[in-house]
Structures are given as structure tokens and as C-alpha cells.
Amino acid sequence: MLPVVIVAGLHRDARRAVVRRLLREVPGAVALHHDLSAAPGGTVRRTLADGTGLTDSGETPLVNDCACCALREDLVPELERLADGGLCRLAVVELWDSVEPRSMAEVVAAHGHGRFELVGVTCAVDPALVLPCMGNGDDLAEAGLAAAPGDQRVVADTFARQLEYPPVLVLADGSEESTPGTDAAGGADAAGTDVLTGPDPADLELLTQLHPTARRIPVTDPGLVAALTAGFDPAAAAARQHPACALLPQEADAHGVTTHVWRARRPFHPARLHEALEDLACAAARSRGRFWLANRPDTLLSWDAAGGALCVDNLGPWLAALPDAARDMVPAERLAAAALDWDPEVGDRGQLLAFVSPELDVDGVTELLDSCLLTDGEYAAGPEAWRRLDSAFDELLDPAVP
């Protein structure tokens, strides 16, 4: 089968450096890239390149007014064509700037049918740009990076999902400065200028704390090709991002960067938490996890914040709220995670939020979160009384249907 590697990332120069390295190192490697910058005009431009430069190009129309949908529709036939041709030894799928790797990885993994196989997914990262990207609350549309007219994502949360999904991160080594206009699909190499200093330790520490389980490898590392073609499990990658079973960052403090993991067993008072949302969303460069509202005692809620933008989502019931027979349908990863954190009174219900940031005010975050929990008297009133508390989250979790 034709091996396929996906290279993602908002850091365009770092991403292109990874693609160029793979094209140079693997004979018969081909880079496939869909440029979504022309999507407002109704088309997506596709390019193919090898180690010598551009070999083919074409256009595909938008699907459902969505550039990412067009990418998905065009990607599989192109990979099939490369596989059937018999000359390609490695297909490198370079995703456009704001395309998130998970959806593309799952498409490739599901449609290989013995002709091609997803063997690696990576995000290319410039350590010096991690904090600026993670703190950027601009809409993608404002930055010229929207993948569809209705794309409402922001730069920070898009970058966070790109960064936290792959098991391998490739780091720009900081020894070259890219020349504007370098071909995205493996054209002329960027001119390089040697510098005497490597990445700032604080930048590397932030990257480490944001995704501590990832393997981080420089783009110049001799083992790069082996690291990116070692195999990839989409189910395991998805589980790592699911708030119910994710291995969230652990407590850390180094080079001015801090990770604070806050836990509690009693639920939040919905009105007090709602009032504190803005301050909590802006308290750290990145925060994520799961939480429990008193007036929704059976509902697992996700917390996902970056760049001051916060997304909360209903992920269905806690395991403790399910009948025993229904637990047989729950993925093994979630069962294992719940078993490790099971409480005899409330089961897997609880608060688990991780805050990662330079200059994090740990005491302030802890005090604010603690103040949002039910008081002793409120907790003692029990679930029936909790359900009657202020429903401040209804507009976020139960949007009105037009």
C-alpha cells in the first residue's frame, strides 16, 4: 500500500520545511497540497510536487460552499490515483494553514481500502510562534485563513487542535529565515541565514507543557522520516483529545511557564460560574478539561479555551448516570479513565481543568474556581434542589433552533 503522511500547522514556513525534507529524503515521494486561499472565488487549487519542484496542478470546485469539504472529496481520488500509478513511494499531504488534521486523518484512514495507508500525522511548529498563536483571539476570517464563508473558528483554538492531535511534533530549528513567496508544494528552498541562538527555553517549555505526551523532533533530525512513518492510530489520537479520557497536562513549573491542574468533586453553581467565565477564559494561554454543573447533574461538559475564546459543549451523560447495560457501548479508553478516577459517591462526575500559561496566577485561578462551587449548604440540599438553580448556561448548551 502507498504510505501517506499528513503534515499540518499554521506555521507555514515550518510546515514547508518538513515537506521539503521528506521530498529530499524519500525517493519517489510526492507532496499533495490543496490551497484554500482561493476558496472565496469558489475553487480550491490542487498542486503536486516532487523533489524537483511542481509536477502538476488543477482546480476543484467547492462542495456545499465549503473548501474543507472540497478537500475531503478530492483528496481520496488523488491518493487512489497516486497509489494506482505505482511510481509514488510516499504521499505527503500538506494541509493548508487552518485545516485541522483530525478530520483529514480520519478520511484517509477510512478510505484506503488496501490501496493507501495513513502511517503518520504531524504538526510542524516554530517554537517562537507558539505563544503568539495561542494568544491570538482573532477570527480566522479576519486573518484571511477561513476555510469557508461561515467559518467561525479563531486562530488560537484552531492552532490548539492542530498541536494537540498528532503524537509527533516537528520543530523548526531556528537556523533559517524563510524567503517570502517560497512555493508551498516543494519548490525552491528558502534562503537560510545562520543564527547563533536556538529556540528560547521558555518557548520550548510552553510547547512541552501544552502537549507533554508528544514526541518533539527537530526538522533536521536524522530520524525524522522514521518518526513520521512509524504508524498512526486515529482512534487513539481521538481519545487523547476527548475530555472524558484525555491525558491532560500535569502540574509543571519551569522557565516561567506553569501548568495548574484544578480538581474538585462537587458541582459548580451555574450562575456563579457563568459570571466568572470571561475571567477564567482569559486567565491562561490555554485551558481545557471537563466540568460538572449542579443543575445538569448527569451531563458531562467540556471546557476548551484559547486566546480568550471559550467553547463549552455537552458531551452526553457521565458514566455514573448510565444504566449498567449501556456501559457496554462505551469505548474502552473512557471506561479505563473513569475507573482510575471513580468516586464512591458521585462516580466519574467532577471537575478537572488544566491551565497552561506563562506567568499564570495559580492562586487567583484557584480562588476564582473554588468560589464557583456549591457551598456546603447548597451541596447538602441535594440534586433535586440543584436542578432548580439558575439556568445561565442554557443559551450556550441549548441554542435555539431557528
Cα of first residue to Cα of last residue in the chain, in angstroms, is 47
Report the pLDDT averaged over residues 262-288.
Answer: 97
Q: Which of 72, 77, 68 is nearest to 36 (CA)?
A: 68
Q: What is the pLDDT of residue 197?
A: 52
DSSP-based helix, strand, coil % in the chain, nearest 5? 35, 25, 40
Q: What is the pTM of this model?
A: 0.90
Same domain, 100 and 186: yes
291 grid coordinates: 466540568
402 lies in a domain?
Answer: no
Residues present in the chain in total: 402
pLDDT at 183 over 60: no
197 lies in a domain?
Answer: yes
More confident residue, 389 or 199: 389
53 grid coordinates: 519542484
Domain residues for the domain of 335 are 252-397
Q: What is the pLDDT of residue 196?
A: 37
168 grid coordinates: 509527533
- Pick the last residue of a domain from 218, 241, 264: 241
Same domain, 177 and 317: no
Same domain, 183 and 139: yes
Q: What CATH number did the domain enclosing 330 receive? A: 3.30.1220.10
- Pick the last residue of a domain from 210, 241, 272: 241
246 lies in a domain?
Answer: no
Q: Which of 102, 281, 301, 93 is nearest to 185 (CA)?
A: 93
More confident residue, 189 or 65: 65
The whole-chain average pLDDT of the chain stands at 90
185 lies in a domain?
Answer: yes
Same domain, 30 and 161: yes
Strand boundaries in 23-132, DSSP class E: 29-35, 43-50, 53-61, 90-94, 116-125
91 lies in a domain?
Answer: yes
Cell 484506503 sits on residue: 112
Report the pLDDT averaged over residues 306-334.
Answer: 92
Same domain, 234 and 257: no
Report the pLDDT averaged over residues 19-29.
Answer: 97
- Pick the last residue of a domain from 209, 241, 273: 241
Q: Which of 175, 156, 163, 159 is nearest to 218 (CA)?
A: 175
Q: What is the pLDDT of residue 258?
A: 98
Q: What is the pLDDT of residue 177?
A: 38
Same domain, 66 and 184: yes
Q: What is the pLDDT of residue 394?
A: 85
Q: What is the pLDDT of residue 331?
A: 87
Same domain, 172 and 62: yes
Structural domain tally of the chain?
A: 2
Same domain, 232 and 273: no
Q: What is the pLDDT of residue 396?
A: 82
Same domain, 78 and 181: yes
Report the pLDDT averaged over residues 353-375.
Answer: 98
Same domain, 35 and 184: yes
Same domain, 234 and 355: no
For 85, phi then psi, to 5°, come to -70, -25
Same domain, 235 and 87: yes
Confidence category of residue 248, pLDDT binned at 50, 70, 90: confident
Confidence category of residue 70, pLDDT binned at 50, 70, 90: confident
218 lies in a domain?
Answer: yes
pLDDT at 174 over 80: no
| Order of strands across the sheet that contains 116-125 | 53-61, 43-50, 29-35, 90-94, 2-8, 116-125, 168-171, 215-218
Report the pLDDT averaged over residues 333-352.
Answer: 92
Q: Which of 141, 139, 145 is nearest to 11 (CA)?
A: 145
pLDDT at 194 over 60: no
Report the pLDDT averaged over residues 283-293.
Answer: 97
pLDDT at 169 over 70: yes
Q: What is the pLDDT of residue 17?
A: 97
For 84, phi then psi, to 5°, come to -70, -25
More confident residue, 44 or 292: 292
Percent of the chain residues past pLDDT 70, beyond the cut: 93
374 lies in a domain?
Answer: yes
Q: What is the pLDDT of residue 189?
A: 34
Report the pLDDT averaged over residues 233-240.
Answer: 90
Q: What CATH number did the domain enclosing 75 receive? A: 3.40.50.300
| Residue 166: exposure state from Cβ atoms within 10 A (0-12, 13-18, ≥19) | buried
Confidence category of residue 63, pLDDT binned at 50, 70, 90: confident
Q: What is the pLDDT of residues 128-158, one digit of tens each?
A: 999 999 999 999 989 989 887 778 899 999 9
30 lies in a domain?
Answer: yes
pLDDT at 178 over 60: no
Q: Which of 48, 45, 55 is nearest to 19 (CA)?
A: 48
